[in-house]
Structure 1
Amino acid sequence: MTTDLTQASAADLGRLYAKGKASPVETMKAVLARADALAATVNALCHVETRGALAAARASEKRWKKGEPRSALDGVPVSVKELVRVKGWPASMGSKLTDKTPADADAPAVARLRAAGAVVFAQSTSSEYGHKGVTDSPLHGITRNPWNTALTPGGSSGGAGAAVAAGLGPIAIGTDGGGSVRIPASFNGLIGLKATFGRVPAWPPSMTGDLSNTGPMARTALDAALMMNVIARPDARDGSALPADDTDYTRKLGRLPKKLKVGFALRLGDHPLDIEVAAMVTKAARDFAALGCKVEEVEAPFSFGEASRAFVVHWLSALQRLLQVFPEARHDEFDPSLLAGAKAGLRCTLQDVVNAQVTRRDLTLAWNLFFEKYDLLLTPTVAVQPFAAGTNLPPGPDGKPNVMWSPYTPQFNLTRHPAATVPVGLSRQGLPVGLQIVSAHYKDALVLRAAAAFAEIHTLRFPVLPETK
Structure 2
Amino acid sequence: MTDLTQATAAELGKLYAKGKTSPTEVMKAVLKRAEAINPRLNALCVIDAEPALAAAKASEKRWMKEEPLSPLDGVPVSIKELVRVKGWPASMGSKLTDKTPAEADAPAVARLREAGAIVFAQSTSSEYGHKGVTDSPLHGITRNPWKMDRTPGGSSGGAGAAVAAGLGPIAIGTDGGGSIRLPSSFTGLVGLKATFGRIPAWPPSLTGELSNTGPMCRTVLDTALMMNAIAKPDLRDGWSLPADDVDYVKAIKGKLKKCRIAFILRMGDHPLDIEVAAMVTKAAKRFEAMGCTVEEAVPPTNYRETGRTFVVHWLSALQRLLQLYPADRHDQFDASLLAGAQAGLKYTLQDVVDAQVTRREATIAWNAFFEKYDLLLTPTLAVQPFEAGQNAPIGADGKPNQQWSPYTFQFNLSRHPAVSVPCGLSRDGLPVGLQIASGHYKDALVLRAAARYAEADPLEFPTLPETMK
8 Å CA contact 2:24–2:53 kept in 1: the answer is yes
One-letter code of the match for 2:112? L
Q: For residues 244 and 426 of structure 1, what CA distance do their matches in structure 2 show?
A: 37
* 1:457 to partner: Cα distance: 1.4
Determine the structure 2 residue equivalent to 1:50: 49
Q: For residues 100 and 227 of structure 1, what CA distance do their matches in structure 2 show?
A: 28
Determine the structure 1 residue equivalent to 2:144: 145
**How many residues get paired?**
468
Q: For residues 128 and 141 of structure 1, what CA distance do their matches in structure 2 show?
A: 10
Q: Does 1:338 align with 2:349?
A: no
8 Å CA contact 1:264–1:295 kept in 2: the answer is yes
Q: For residues 453 and 417 of structure 1, what CA distance do their matches in structure 2 show?
A: 20
Q: For residues 378 and 385 of structure 2, what CA distance do their matches in structure 1 show?
A: 17
Q: For residues 353 and 85 of structure 2, what CA distance do their matches in structure 1 show?
A: 35
One-letter code of the match for 1:296? E
Q: For residues 283 and 275 of structure 2, what CA distance do their matches in structure 1 show?
A: 12
1:103-139 CA-to-partner distances (Å, cap 9, x unmatched) read: 0000000000000000000000000000000000000
The 3-state SS of whatever aligns with 1:251 is helix
Give me the identity figure in percent: 75
Determine the structure 2 residue equivalent to 1:322: 321
8 Å CA contact 2:256–2:449 kept in 1: the answer is no
Q: For residues 55 and 86 of structure 2, what CA distance do their matches in structure 1 show?
A: 14
Please list every run of 5 or more consecutive structure 2 residues that lacks an aligned counterpart in the other structure: none
8 Å CA contact 1:38–1:468 kept in 2: the answer is no
Q: For residues 66 and 381 of structure 2, what CA distance do their matches in structure 1 show?
A: 44
* Structure 1 segment 48-87 matched on structure 2, within 5 A: 48-87=47-86
* 1:3 to partner: Cα distance: 2.0
For structure 1, which segment, 333-342 or 252-261, has the greater mean C-alpha deviation from structure 2 after superposition? 252-261
* 1:254 to partner: Cα distance: 2.2
Q: For residues 59 and 467 of structure 1, what CA distance do their matches in structure 2 show?
A: 34
* 1:467 to partner: Cα distance: 4.1
Q: Does 1:222 align with 2:221?
A: yes
The 3-state SS of whatever aligns with 2:421 is strand
Q: For residues 465 and 301 of structure 1, what CA distance do their matches in structure 2 show?
A: 40
1:404-429 CA-to-partner distances (Å, cap 9, x unmatched) read: 00000001000000000000000000
Determine the structure 2 residue equivalent to 1:419: 418
* 1:256 to partner: Cα distance: 2.7
Determine the structure 1 residue equivalent to 2:162: 163
* 1:39 to partner: Cα distance: 1.6
Q: For residues 236 and 111 of structure 1, what CA distance do their matches in structure 2 show?
A: 13
* Structure 1 segment 313-462 matched on structure 2, within 5 A: 313-462=312-461
One-letter code of the match for 1:155? G
The 3-state SS of whatever aligns with 1:132 is coil
Q: Does 1:19 align with 2:18?
A: yes
Length-normalised TM-score, structure 1? 0.99
One-letter code of the match for 2:216? M
For structure 1, which segment, 135-144 or 285-294, has the greater mean C-alpha deviation from structure 2 after superposition? 285-294
Determine the structure 2 residue equivalent to 1:236: 235
8 Å CA contact 2:286–2:456 kept in 1: the answer is no
* 1:385 to partner: Cα distance: 0.1
* Structure 1 segment 189-228 matched on structure 2, within 5 A: 189-228=188-227
One-letter code of the match for 1:445? A
The 3-state SS of whatever aligns with 2:283 is helix
Determine the structure 1 residue equivalent to 2:2: 3
The 3-state SS of whatever aligns with 2:313 is helix
Residues 14/468 of structure 1: CA separation in 2 closer, same or farther (3 Å cut): farther
* 1:91 to partner: Cα distance: 0.3
8 Å CA contact 1:37–1:468 kept in 2: the answer is no
Q: For residues 448 and 313 of structure 1, what CA distance do their matches in structure 2 show?
A: 31
Structure 1 moving runs of 4+ over 2 Å: 254-257
Q: For residues 327 and 349 of structure 2, what CA distance do their matches in structure 1 show?
A: 23
* 1:25 to partner: Cα distance: 0.3
For structure 1, which segment, 113-122 or 246-255, has the greater mean C-alpha deviation from structure 2 after superposition? 246-255
Q: For residues 467 and 361 of structure 2, what CA distance do their matches in structure 1 show?
A: 51
* 1:307 to partner: Cα distance: 0.3
* 1:468 to partner: Cα distance: 7.2
One-letter code of the match for 2:355? A
Determine the structure 1 residue equivalent to 2:117: 118
Q: Does 1:273 align with 2:244?
A: no
* 1:176 to partner: Cα distance: 0.1
Q: For residues 327 and 111 of structure 1, what CA distance do their matches in structure 2 show?
A: 33
1:176-234 CA-to-partner distances (Å, cap 9, x unmatched) read: 00000000000000000000000000000000001000000000000000000000000
* Structure 1 segment 88-107 matched on structure 2, within 5 A: 88-107=87-106
Q: For residues 298 and 396 of structure 2, what CA distance do their matches in structure 1 show?
A: 23
Q: For residues 186 and 253 of structure 2, what CA distance do their matches in structure 1 show?
A: 25
The 3-state SS of whatever aligns with 1:217 is strand
8 Å CA contact 1:272–1:397 kept in 2: the answer is no
The 3-state SS of whatever aligns with 1:123 is strand
Q: For residues 17 and 80 of structure 2, what CA distance do their matches in structure 1 show?
A: 29
Q: For residues 242 and 355 of structure 2, what CA distance do their matches in structure 1 show?
A: 28
Determine the structure 2 residue equivalent to 1:34: 33
The 3-state SS of whatever aligns with 1:250 is helix
For structure 1, which segment, 392-401 or 125-134, has the greater mean C-alpha deviation from structure 2 after superposition? 392-401
One-letter code of the match for 2:14? R
Q: For residues 361 and 285 of structure 2, what CA distance do their matches in structure 1 show?
A: 30
